[in-house]
Structures are given as C-alpha cells and as structure tokens.
Structure 1
Amino acid sequence: MTQPHLIAIDWGTSSLRGFLIDNGGKILETRASRHGIQNLPAAGKEGFEQAFIALCADWVTQYKILNAVTCGMVGSAQGWVETPYVACPAGTDTLLAHATAVEAPLGVRLLIAPGMKYLPEGGAPDVMRGEEIQIAGVFAIAPETRHDALIVLPGTHSKWARIRDGQVESFCTYMTGEIYDALSRHTILSRLLVAPNTCSDDERRSAFEQGLSLASNGGTGDFAHQLFSVRTLGLFGHMPQELLGEYLSGIVIAQEIISGIAKFGADDIRVVGEGPLCRRYQDAIRFIGGTPPILHGNTAPAGLFLFATTAGLTSQGDHETGQLRTG
C-alpha cells in the first residue's frame, strides 16, 4: 500500500464517511460511522472530538497524518465550528478562502469547507452545504464541466447547479425527497401504498413512467390534482397497489425536473450520487428532457481531495484538476 497522507471526511446530519487518501489522490480505505452531527457520542465540541477519534485515530497514529479536510453539516451552526456560507458565484478557491481550520485531536489540523448561498435579485435565497464539495468532485473527475455544465444532485433536498468558468453561478433546491416521504407516510395516499416486492423491474418502470408522463403533460398548478390520481387509480383497481409508490415517485420527481429544465436548460446534465435514486433521475431526465444525462457516482472524496490540493495539503496530486484515483 502506498503511504497514506490525508484524511477526508464527508460529515452529514445522520452519518459520516471517512476516506484515507495518499499524496497522489488514491483512496486507500473507506469507513462509515453513524456519528452525524445529530447522533454524536457526547454534546458539543466533545462529541465531535470523540467521533473523530472513533473514526480515524488509528489512521492518525499509525501513519502520522497531520492534515484532514471535511465538508457538510459539520460546518453548520450546529456543527463543530460554524463556517459561514459563501455567496455565488464561487469556486474551489473561494471555498478555501473562507474555510475554517480546527485543531482536532491527536494534533491533526482539520480544514472545514464552507457551504454556498445563492441570493438572486428579487428572489428567495438558497443554500447548500456539502453539495459544493460534490460539485468540486465533478470538476476533478470530469474537468470539461468546469467551463459550462448543469449538475443535478438528487436527495432529500435535491440541488440543480449551473456551472460557468469553474464556478457555481447559481443553483436551486427542491424538497422532492422530503415531499415524497411526507406524502407516502403521512397522507391518505399512504393507506394504499404497498412495497413492490412481487413486481418486475419492467412493471415498476412502466408505473414510474406513467407518473412522469402525467406530470409532464399536465398544466400549471395541476400537481395537487395529479397526486389525487394515486388514490383513485388504486381505489378503482386501475393500477396494482404495489405499483402506486412508483407512480407517485414519477409524479413528484417530474415536477422537479420540469422546473429545473425550465430554469437551467437540458444541455450537458450531470447527475451526481449513488444508488437507484440517481439512476431513476437519469431515466426521468431522459424521459422528460430527451438528452441522456451523464451519471457520476459519489464525487465527495474527489471534491475533498481537490479542496485539499487547492489548500496546498498535497504535493503530487494534479493541481489543475485535483484528480483523485481509486483502487
């Protein structure tokens, strides 16, 4: 194994992931922990220090690591040390200029990346924390996106970010995942939804696309009416209950994609993240927008390495792209 050099941590609300990386950007080991900022082993600063030690103390002591970088909710007002949002347009250099350094346990200097805020003239403000590093990871993995791209990050609160000249120019947040969860668990629709364990992939895809089609062919303000069709299709047996969740998912995701494409266009879309949800977004964007988006995986470690490289914490990475290698 090559010599470990850097610890990178993606520190969220409910969990965190740590990456042991060498000086050239190769991921040597990955660890996960349940110690997100709302699930710390103790209150306040002590809780963060204990979580850090539990995650990576042996890495620090065995390999004499002096530097670590982190992103996500660890820099929020409820985090280890608050690291305020930076305003768009902003790139990796901007993040570094407003980062916060913390003296972590075992003599490690921990650099916390700030989040981003978008303050459109005459519009409501928007924020992200953690996604800005995922976007930096896309820059590292696919350098052509620095010039002009549209990056979509599905999740509980999905983000659509317009990239120009190596900076996040603007972005928009959609509460799509949270809306689906609320509808499927806390409304009358929840009584009809059954896990599709006995359905084929083709059946599930067809139900999802029916929801996409209904939403994409609807009129302004039809969303609430479209939602009620989940109940009536089940009530009259026009769709098996096992498929109603897929249909509902199509309706809800389509609202986001229709709006996102209207705001940002449909050219050079990159979907960022892992798992079935991101593949579902890829399929839905293709269905509604026509242009097949490129799917990237988890770009957070690549973004953290680029952040560290920009800070001068690595000497052998690609200082232009911060390219991270795996395997």
Structure 2
Amino acid sequence: MTDDTPALIALDWGTSSLRAFAMTAQGRVIDTRASGHGVQHLPEPGLPGFEAAFAAICGTWLDRAPLPVVASGMVGSAQGWREVPYLPCPADLGALPHAAGRVTTAGGQDILIAPGLIHDPAGAPPDVMRGEEIQIAGAIAGHPDRQAGTTLILPGTHSKWARVEGGTVTGFETHMTGELFALLRTRSILGRLMSDAPLADTVRHAAFLDGVAEAARDGAGGLTHLLFGTRTLGLTGRLPAAALAEYCSGLLIGHEIVSALATRADGPLLLVGSPALCARYDRALTAIAGRGAEAIVENPAPAGLFRLACDAGLLTSESGDPI
C-alpha cells in the first residue's frame, strides 16, 4: 500500500512563478501547485507579498499538519524574501544546508532557503546561479556515475554549463542565449522579417541545423556578423520568413555549444530542463560534437529540494538516503 502522507513542502520560487510540491518522507511528489506569484509578481509589495503568496499556495497543506518547508530560487536573492549569500565553488552539494538561510513567517513557519552558487575564477568575471544548484543536486541524486564526473547543461533564458566531480560543483558558466534570442526576435531589425506562419517540421529543423552548422564553421568568433545573415537570408528569399527564427536560434545555440565545449574535456553530458528545449540542444550537440547528451532530465527541482531537506536533518531516517 502506498503511503501518501505528506512529510515535506518544497518550493521552487523564481522570478515570474512559484511552484510548490507536497512530498512524502521517501521523496515522492504527491501534490503539485503553481502560481504566478514569482518574486517580481507578488500579490502586494514587500514582505507582506511573500507572506500572502506563501499562505495562498501552502496554507491548506499546513492547516492539516505542521511540515518542514524548503525553498530555492530567486526567493533567496536581493529581491527575495531574504537574501542568502552564495556558496563559493568548488561547492559540495551536501554543504548547501550549512550555507542556507532561514525565514520565519508571521504564523511561525520556518522556511529553509538554498544559497545559490558563485564561481569566481582568477582573471575572469564571476558567475552566479540561484535555483540551478538545486536542479543539479536533483539531477545527480541516485546516480553515482553522474556524481563522479559530468557536465550538466541547463538551457534557458540564462543557460548554465556546470561541471560536477565527486558530488562537487567545481565551476560553471552562464550563456545569455535565451534572453538574447528573445531580444533579437522582438526588439531588433532581425525580427522584422520573421514570421510565425506554419512551417513543415522538416523545413523548421533544417533551418535550425543550418544555423548550428554556420556557428560550428565559424568557431567561437564572428557571431555578430553571422547574426546579420539572418536578415539577408530573408531579404534574398533564401530562407522563408517562418524559418528565420529557427535559423537565428541555431546560430545562438550553436555558438553557445562551440564556446562551452572549447573549455571542457571529454566526458558525459547531461541536459536538464524542458524536453522541447533540451531536444533542441541535443540535436545541436549531435551536429557539432557527433554525440548527444547521455540523458535529458525534466524537473529535478523536487528531488534536489528533497535532498536539501534530508541533508539539513529536516526529515527522519525513514526517508532514506537521497543520494
């Protein structure tokens, strides 16, 4: 018989959205809720807004029984409920609870907030993440091979490439690929020729891979010149308007992959994120490197938050070892 008794509430609290998971003592998600009350879209300004958003999404769960609560993401940023300093790399993922912060609601509920990570290599600007460290922890939980040595790729608005060795994040880098694509499509001259008209999948995929191939031929330089080709291919009719966004996406993702792989030794690659976006990266990886990712992991945040709770001693021993 399955035990559906909730033992933990886990919050993935980002800039634009809030997701909440009720989990058993064994780490199984038994209920999921979501709202648009991210840290920049609270029901009211300031601390009362965080209180209201938390009560709205978790109140009925906590009315039934007291439960530990853990959170990750921008809720721990300077714009969040409480700013939690970053844990510097190399960062043992098991040490996240020791660097975590805490807030207590007006009703007396304690919330443990993950710290995020900072990578500050000599001679280069620092890099930071908030929330992705929990996704990384969840993606490698229960997989000793991934913990031993893996490069994790987390595509998105700000894509992350992180290296894990021995359960420790040794370093990472951010590529603003998603945000740059959105700006180019909506705010630049390149977007003026783009169309959302229906397009056959074969044509769409071919345009994307053409962009990837062009980025691979160019190497790590010349991106600004290549991007203008998105416009000229449309002006000359060599690509239909509905395929220009795909070509531009291929250029940007291809450039990201070429740049990131140039600083990484051979080893397994793991894609973490939405299946559609990860599939796009997987096609580009195969075209550039001749191999795709070892696996695609969707939504590992609950598993990462469960590990945070276990490592912090918030769950009893019956929960087992999350590693």
TM tier relative to shorter chain: over 0.9
What does residue 288 of structure 2 align with?
288
Equivalent runs, 1:224-235 vs 2, <5 Å: 224-235=224-235
What does residue 186 of structure 1 align with?
187
Cα deviation per residue 1:70-120 (whole Å; 9 max; x = unaligned)? 000000011101101010011223211111122125432210000100010
Compute the displacement of 1:187 (Å).
Answer: 1.2
Measured at CA, do residues 57 and 271 of structure 1 come closer, stay the same or move farther in structure 2, by a change above 3 Å?
A: same
CA contact (8 A) 2:207 2:247 kept: yes
CA contact (8 A) 1:157 1:178 kept: yes
Equivalent runs, 1:135-174 vs 2, <5 Å: 135-174=136-175
Q: How far apart in 2 are the matches of 1:318 and 1:291?
A: 35
SS at match of 1:17: strand
Equivalent runs, 1:264-303 vs 2, <5 Å: 264-293=264-293, 294-303=295-304
CA contact (8 A) 1:60 1:106 kept: no
Compute the displacement of 1:289 (Å).
Answer: 1.3
CA contact (8 A) 1:266 1:291 kept: no
Amino acid at match of 2:178: G
Q: How far apart in 2 are the matches of 1:65 and 1:167?
A: 33
Compute the displacement of 1:318 (Å).
Answer: 3.0
CA contact (8 A) 2:220 2:255 kept: no
% same residue = 46
SS at match of 1:41: coil
What does residue 93 of structure 2 align with?
92
Deviating more after overlay: 45-54 vs 288-297: 288-297
CA contact (8 A) 1:6 1:65 kept: no
SS at match of 2:78: coil
What does residue 19 of structure 1 align with?
21
Unaligned runs of 5+ in 1: 322-327
Amino acid at match of 2:87: V
Alignment of 1:46 onto 2:45: no
What does residue 217 of structure 1 align with?
217
Cα deviation per residue 1:235-279 (whole Å; 9 max; x = unaligned)? 111111100100000001111100111112352000001141111
Amino acid at match of 1:148: G
Q: How far apart in 2 are the matches of 1:278 and 1:50?
A: 34
Calculate the TM-score normalised by the size of structure 1: 0.95
Q: How far apart in 2 are the matches of 1:219 and 1:50?
A: 49
Amino acid at match of 1:281: Y
What does residue 202 of structure 1 align with?
202
Q: How far apart in 2 are the matches of 1:222 and 1:103?
A: 51
Q: How far apart in 1 are the matches of 2:220 and 2:307?
A: 42
What does residue 325 of structure 1 align with?
none
SS at match of 1:184: helix
CA contact (8 A) 1:137 1:299 kept: yes
SS at match of 1:13: coil
Deviating more after overlay: 153-162 vs 308-317: 308-317
CA contact (8 A) 2:219 2:258 kept: no
Deviating more after overlay: 258-267 vs 166-175: 258-267
CA RMSD after TM alignment: 1.3
Calculate the TM-score normalised by the size of structure 2: 0.96
Amino acid at match of 1:53: A
